[in-house]
A = this chain, B = another copy of it.
Amino acid sequence: MSAQHFDEVPGRFKVRDLSLAAAGRHQIRLAEHEMPGLMALRAEYAAAQPLAGARIAGSLHMTVQTAVLIETLVALGAEVRWASCNIFSTQDEAAAAVAVGPNGTPEDPQGVPVFAWKGETLEEYWECTEQILLWPGEGPTMILDDGGDATLLVHLGVDFEAAGAVPADLAPGDPGYSHEYNVILGVLRRSLPVDGQRWTRIAQGIGGVSEETTTGVHRLYQLAEEGRLLFTAINVNDSVTKSKFDNKYGIRHSLPDGINRATDVLIGGKVAFVAGYGDVGKGAAESLRGQGARVIVSEIDPICALQAAMDGYEVARLEDVLGEADFFITTTGNKDVIRTEHMTRMKDKAVVGNIGHFDNEIDMAGLAAVPGARKTEIKPQVHEWTFPADGDRPARSIIVLSEGRLLNLGNATGHPSFVMSNSFSNQVIAQIELFRNAGAYPLGVHRLPKVLDEKVARLHLDALGVRLTQLSKEQAEYIGVDVAGPYKPEHYRY
């Protein structure tokens, strides 16, 4: 990344090209209509400005929907700096529009510093992550994280500062080496010699982090268990209005969308294999059945397996259906779910895609190493992998989507705005809680109180024409709840 990206407007780091801002603004305006939760929060808190004084460092896919989130945080009084949490996921026009701001112009941008563009290198990515934490003057008061990269950088910086050691430049073969890890260390190799307390100061200023996804939450629980967590955390991922909506209904929308845009292949009448029947798998299976496919599910958890069977799906193992399925979709969040031993034996022209989370659910590295395998780009993010004939098996090919990464992001546009409005309303409320109600969240990993989860749901009902029934006082007492909620015990599963 060259200075040009940082210095266009002095003191203000910028996306590369502000000329896209008008297009982005138009899309943001349409998205606002589909994000009633965020717009309702703006209306509710416009006067109170609960985030006045807050400085929020955000690391989350820089999309049109995120733009509505960012501008909601700003509307509630916060200062914000933003990076994406994925090198490919930035929508440049959204980034530009946010940087310009609703009332600025490309010539006189008045928006939020955005450190993100589509197609960053790993080096650029981690430099961007660093930038959102380097506030002019004081550091951030909160992190809004997706996957935990911003939180990781702070924790790693504090560790090395505590050890007083500039990290070494690792090479392949060194213990702990991975390319990306060494890039992260590179950020610290630059910062520690300059300021040996920078990350310690930043960590001390942070009142908490709100985390968006399973992966990031998993890291946070590990830090907490190990006693290494530096600031409190709110687990947004496990709000009902996140996990049961984003994961299930978002996937129901974006899985067939991604398959269609990638392949134009008929789904109806075909056999679709779905690995995993958690929330993502449930949404995936429902959407494929809704298109007329016959869905076969695999599971490692007997409870989820039983649910799949009771929902009318065949439950089998991947190795049993290789010659039968036309689509193979992973939703597990585990690694090595589809392996080369599977891919080389699939039906000719089978479509293989991942909508779980990790890009190692499909063994892409192994695939590249299959002797004789040849990769042909059909179009960006859609590749045909051809395997040579082998004994009695004729040559055949499979179609791999998004190089094994999340196909709904790579081949379509991710979750639609309405779904993200649920997730992001949780984020906004979590940020308010961390800033205004810190006492309720001692050091540790917390979920939002159920009544706030219910509030997020409530904000989305009008847009769907839902008319809620009101409990009478007598009825509320009868079941032992407050008329205003929360209505269910903590362990309720929805």
Q: Which residues on A are within 8 Å of B, measured CB to CB?
A: 26-27, 30, 33-34, 218, 221-222, 238, 240-241, 243-245, 249, 252-253, 256-257, 260-261, 264-271, 275, 279, 286-287, 289-295, 298-318, 320, 324, 333-337, 348-349, 376, 378, 384, 412-413, 416-419, 447, 453-455, 457-458, 460-461, 464-472, 474-475, 478-480, 485, 487-491, 493-494
- Whether B461 and A306, one on each chain, are in contact in the complex, defined by CB atoms closer than 8 angstroms, is yes
Q: Which residues of B contact A269 (CB under 8 A)?
A: 249, 306, 309-310, 312, 418, 464
Q: Known contacts being A299-B468, A494-B303, is A252 close to B291, with CB within 8 Å?
A: yes
Q: Which residues of B contact A485 (CB under 8 A)?
A: 301-302
Q: Which residues of B contact A324 (CB under 8 A)?
A: 465
A253 to B270, CA, bound (A): 12
- Whether A238 and B491, one on each chain, are in contact in the complex, defined by CB atoms closer than 8 angstroms, is yes
Q: Known contacts being A33-B349, A252-B291, is A494 close to B416, with CB within 8 Å?
A: no
Q: Which residues of B contact A488 (CB under 8 A)?
A: 301, 303
A244 to B304, CA, bound (A): 11
Cβ-neighbour of A260 out of B337, B349, B412 (below 8 A): B412
Q: Which residues of B contact A447 (CB under 8 A)?
A: 491
Cβ-neighbour of A467 out of B291, B303, B320, B460 (below 8 A): B320
A176, chain B: closest CB distance, angstroms: 16
- Whether A457 and B303, one on each chain, are in contact in the complex, defined by CB atoms closer than 8 angstroms, is yes
- Whether A466 and B309, one on each chain, are in contact in the complex, defined by CB atoms closer than 8 angstroms, is yes
A465 to B269, CA, bound (A): 9
Q: Which residues of B contact A305 (CB under 8 A)?
A: 457, 461, 466, 468
Q: What are some 6 contacts across the A-B interface (CB < 8 A)?
A: A252-B291, A271-B465, A290-B291, A300-B468, A305-B461, A335-B475
